Structure 1
Amino acid sequence: MPRRRISARRQWSACTGALVLAAAAAAGCTSPLPDLTDPANRAEGSQTIVWVSSPTLRNASDDARQVLVDAFEQAYPSIKVNLQPGPDNTDRLHEKLSGELSGGSATPDVYSGDVTWPAEFGHDGLALPLNDYFPASFWSQFAPPGTALADNTLIQAMSYRGNVYAVPYFVDYGFLFYRKDLLAQAHLPAPSTWEQLLADARALKNRGLPYQFAWQGDAYEGLTCDWTELLADAYGGQSAAQFATSAGQATAARLASPQALKALDFLRTLIGDGLSPAGVNGFEEPQGDSAFDSGQAAFLRSWDSSWANAVSATSAVADLDKVGVMPLPTFQGQRGPGSSVVGGWNLFVNPHSRNLTADLTFVRWMAGPQAQRILATQFSEIPSNYAVRTSSDVTANTPIMAAAARISPVSRPSSTPDYGELSKKIYSGIHEALPAGPGLPAADPCTTLLKAARAIDPAVHSTLPCDVTGGG
């Protein structure tokens, strides 16, 4: 349905919302709301807010959302949270929320949404710009101490044109899963570079052991994620946050570069040398998990959710002595670990809500140590809060948590309301250059990259070694 543009800004803030956080802090801007961390300033009177959240949390005997609500209401007894389950499909949730909020509905007050939504929802006036209300110190908790705002990957992923439209709730990352037992048999270390992964796979193959590397090669969003990680590695030396903050022209320029050709040649080598399963250019997450869990592949690039699958009773490799997990490798000569794309879910505030103070109290608590520790220790979700994510009791909880503490995150180029179309141009172009298997045809990688770059920005300046005048 067509969306009606609504204003995401109301006269609540004493500071201009167009300022970025750093500028606002320097200007001495403060929130017009009371300090929500001070119990003396908690919302007065009884208030009820509506939180719409899909059942996206895993591995729980209880509903994690209700556990969090119960803990919040105990801490803030004057605020009640009416949990309303959203659709369990992200696209249907998106459709439901955008339709209701575009119509000016005052509920839900708070809603959970995907990491790629902030630019679109901010642009369309469907989310409140939260940097008007939370100081710079609030946002700093999502990155290592001393991290500049421009390098705060999670917050950059929540931002659009200088405003922050969501609070990170819990995160997902890309990881490398590997067979510890197979590498031990071949006296090989776990690969810290992509070149070493190729060498390890060949060595395992020569020994007659499972050796292949499974990843997401189908023409869909998963390929954009895999590609973003490799391209960021090929560009090495740039801030991961700065690498992906710009969409459009910057994305096109990076596609039309020798670094992109290096990343694409790596994927083509995996397929052409038989080091990835036949048909990997049709793999999504389930196919990758299946190849690894059945014992056919020694390596897997996937999300943290794949850990539970790999060590489940139905997996052929369900043994902690067999399965390892680590941050992704990088290219040789670059500082490791490699880049891992940020996924996960976030909390948005409805700009039409009539319960603003209660909304912000809830959102702030959800990002704080109590809620984040519940997510990590009871439900095995990776906390967005950096101090919780790297605390010794959390990192000792599972191998995934230990690996997550060492991740080098990178965001997709989603700082555009047209990210869905941009991602399609990326993954369609990359997929066109991937053969289905060894010896099978595929489009020329150089001209394919140029074609994809021009689909994004027809005026792109190419530094590729192929013909830049013939139209690709």
Structure 2
Amino acid sequence: MVRRPIPAALAVLLGLLVTACSAAGAQETERFGGTGPFTLVIGRPATAYLQSLLDRWNQTHPGERATLLELPEAADEQRAQMVANLQARSDRYDVLGLDVIWTAEFADAGWILPLERAMFPLDRFLPPVVDTAVYRGKLWAVPYTSNAGLLFYRKDLLAKEGLKPPRTWGELRDQARALHEKYGIGGYAGQFLAYEGLTVNFAEAVQSAGGQILSPDGTKVTMDVAKAKAGLDFLVGGFREGWIPPESLSFKEDEAQLAFEEGRLAFARNWPHTYGPATTSAVAGKFGVTRLPGANGPGTGSLGGYNLAVSAFSKRQKSATEFIRYFTSLENQRRVLADGSFPPVWAELYDDPGLIKRFPYLPVLKQSILSARPRPASANYDQVSLAIASAVSNALTPPFTEHDSEDVVSSMKGQLEEIIRAQ
């Protein structure tokens, strides 16, 4: 067979194609296989204990050192800073510590990368926690910590009055009112400032009345007005009757935690990480933890926590992925609980006798997480949360005669339907 020479023009064209493909391949390798120093960005209070874990990684990975970048405490502010970075397609952030409610939004916007399920021992994690990292059938992040709201209570005061921890709203109301009147302290508080925390508290009230706000996939408003009204009435009643102190309208997590630790509250709704600090506070040895109460029995909390994702604009994506594998390992998950008082995602740690001895609330927390509901996987979750928090805040603010719970809930439902239609 006689080989004919390639025409000069065609040779030039082929050369350009080979060069372009090589450049594209190199770019692909750099973007999806890049290694080197990287940044972990995550919000307080999840950062307090992390440096020791980072130091362990850095000691064995000197060429891939991890640097911690701390964001504010409030989830709204964390999201705002991350979104600004990602919209600018900046490569400053590599590993993103995402609130579990952001998975859908960040994946839908193309800001994070899908991950290989086989790289992570997801079958050993608590199932509801894994669900928070999945969107449209793909794994977009890896669960790092979990969370579910708990009721902190003054067991010393309940013992004096011959009372058991409340299981229903009625019991909580009666006990909170009685302790408020007898001991001159606030009866109950949660997170009632108009921000994401108020959305969570309202969602828990609705769920604990047997309702929900959106469908699990976030595509439909499924709010039952009567059940949502029952949840809102529970909170409004507390402020109207005085067993929820007015000052708690300004409470986020830290303010509610401080008020309880200083002995100014009989009951407080908060996340599990506040347990550790309370053991060295003015109420050390005087408090207990139980599940949130509901309308007719134990309530249903909102599933919280952090997932770790890889920024789509990172140039160190291979290092970032390997770091996530390290950071979510069983050994480090034990430290997450032992050093940070944050709920781990590995199921077996909740049955560890040594950990239960140190953290007696673990069995209760496991039940709370398994029964908790994730917040809706809506790509417009920030707008959903803003609409809820604004409406509920208005309802909790006196004078209460101007706010009818049914009207508030009906109006809120209409706003949410508009937001969902715009997705």
TM-score normalized with structure 1 length? 0.72
In structure 1, what is the Cα distance between the partners aligned to 2:128 and 2:165?
27
- Corresponding residue for 1:405? 366
The residue aligned with 1:138 is 121
400 and 53 in structure 1: CA distance in 2 versus 1, 3 angstrom threshold? farther
Report the CA distance between 1:65 and its aligned residue.
2.9
User: Displacement, 1:347?
Assistant: 0.8
CA apart distance, 1:456: 1.4
Aligned to 2:143: 168
Structure 1 SS opposite 2:358: coil
Q: Could you tell me whether the CA contact under 8 Å between 1:171 and 1:343 is conserved in 2?
A: yes
Aligned counterpart in structure 2 of residue 351 of structure 1, from 308, 312, 335: 312
Could you tell me which of 377, 380, 386 is aligned with 1:424? 386
Q: Partners of 2:189 and 2:204 in 1: how far apart? A: 15
Q: Aligned match of 1:434 in 388, 396, 405?
A: 396
Unaligned runs of 5+ in 1: 1-9, 12-43, 144-151, 461-472
Q: CA deviation at 1:159?
A: 3.2
Instruction: Please give the residue correspondences for 1:250-399 in structure 2 after superposition, counting only pairs within 5 Å.
Output: 250=221, 253-254=222-223, 256-313=224-281, 315=282, 318-320=283-285, 322-332=286-296, 334=297, 336=298, 338-353=299-314, 355-399=316-360
Name the CA distance, whole Å, in 1 between partners of 2:378 and 2:145: 22
Where 2:117 maps in the other structure, the secondary structure is coil
Measure, in 2, the Cα distance between the counterparts of 1:361 and 1:259. 45
Q: Could you tell me whether the CA contact under 8 Å between 1:173 and 1:343 is conserved in 2?
A: yes
C-alpha separation between the residues in 2 aligned to 1:362 and 1:120? 23
Q: Which amino acid aligns with 1:431?
A: S
2:408 to 437, 440, 448: 448
Change (3 A) 1:368 1:356: same
Report whether the alignment pairs 1:233 with 2:208. Answer: yes
Residue 66 of structure 2 corresponds to: 82
Q: Give 1:66's aligned residue.
A: 51
Q: Partner letter of residue 328 of structure 1?
A: L
- In 2: Cα distance, 1:459 partner to 1:287 partner: 31
Give how far 1:385 is off.
2.0
The 3 A distance-change label for structure 1 pair 54 and 189 is same
Counterpart contact for 2:179–2:185, Cα < 8 Å? yes
Contact 2:180 2:266 in 1 (8 A): no
1:228/1:412 contact within 8 Å kept: no
1:17-44 Cα deviation digits (max 9, x unpaired): xxxxxxxxxxxxxxxxxxxxxxxxxxx9
3-state SS of paired residue (1:52) = strand
Pair 1:454–1:363, CA change in 2 (3 A): same
Does structure 2 retain, via aligned residues, the 8 Å contact 1:245–1:411? Answer: no
- Aligned pair in 2 of structure 1 residues 190, 243: CA closer, same or farther (>3 Å)? farther
Residue 119 of structure 1 contacts residue 415 of structure 1 at CA under 8 Å; is this kept in 2?
A: yes
Residue identity opposite 2:144 in structure 1: Y
Q: What is the CA-CA distance between 1:374 and the residue it aligns to?
A: 1.7
Secondary structure in structure 1 of the residue aligned to 2:268? strand
Q: Alpha-carbon deviation of 1:376?
A: 1.5
Partners of 1:354 and 1:53 lie apart in 2 by 15
Corresponding residue SS for 1:348: strand
- Which of the two has greater helix per residue? 2
- Say yes or no: does 1:177 pair with 2:152: yes
Paired residue secondary structure (1:325): strand
Q: Deviations over 1:306-339 (max 9, x none)?
A: 33454444x4xx331x11122212221x5x3x22
Question: Gapped runs of 5+ residues in structure 2?
Answer: 1-23, 26-32
Whether 1:188 and 2:163 are equivalent positions in the alignment is: yes
| Corresponding residue for residue 24 of structure 1 | none
Q: Name the % identity.
A: 26
Take 2:36 and 2:276, find their aligned partners in 1: how far apart are those partners? 36
**Paired AA for residue 328 in structure 2:** A
AA aligned opposite 1:377 = A
For residue 388 of structure 1, report the CA deviation from its aligned partner.
Answer: 2.2
Which residue in 2 is equivalent to 1:15? none
Counterpart CA distance in 2 for 1:279 and 1:107 is: 39
Match of 1:246 in 2: 217
Question: Paired residue for 1:56?
Answer: 44
Alignment of 1:17-28 (within 5 A): none
Q: Tell me the CA shift for residue 49 of structure 1.
A: 4.5
SS of residue in 2 equivalent to 1:48: coil
Residues 76-124 of structure 1: CA distance to partner in whole angstroms, max 9, x if unpaired?
6597333242444555654554444444455543232322321221111
The answer (yes or no) to whether the contact 1:280–1:436 under 8 Å persists in 2 is: no
Asked if residue 115 in structure 1 is aligned to residue 100 in structure 2, the reply is yes
Q: What residue number does 2:16 align with?
A: none
| Alpha carbons of structure 1 residues 359 and 282: separation in structure 2 relative to 1, 3 Å | closer
Give the Cα separation in 1 of the matches to 2:317 and 2:255: 44
Question: Cα RMSD (Å) of the superposition?
Answer: 3.4
For these two proteins, the number of residue pairs brought into alignment is 388
- Give, in whole Å, the separation in 1 of the partners of 2:190 and 2:77: 26
Q: Secondary structure at the match of 1:416?
A: coil
SS at match of 1:339: coil
SS at match of 2:166: coil
User: Which amino acid letter does the alignment assign opposite residue 289 of structure 1?
Assistant: Q
Superposed CA deviations along residues 347-401 of structure 1, whole A, max 9, x for unmatched, are 1112344554443332123222011012112332221222224422222223454
Q: 1:442 to 1:411 in 2, by over 3 A?
A: farther
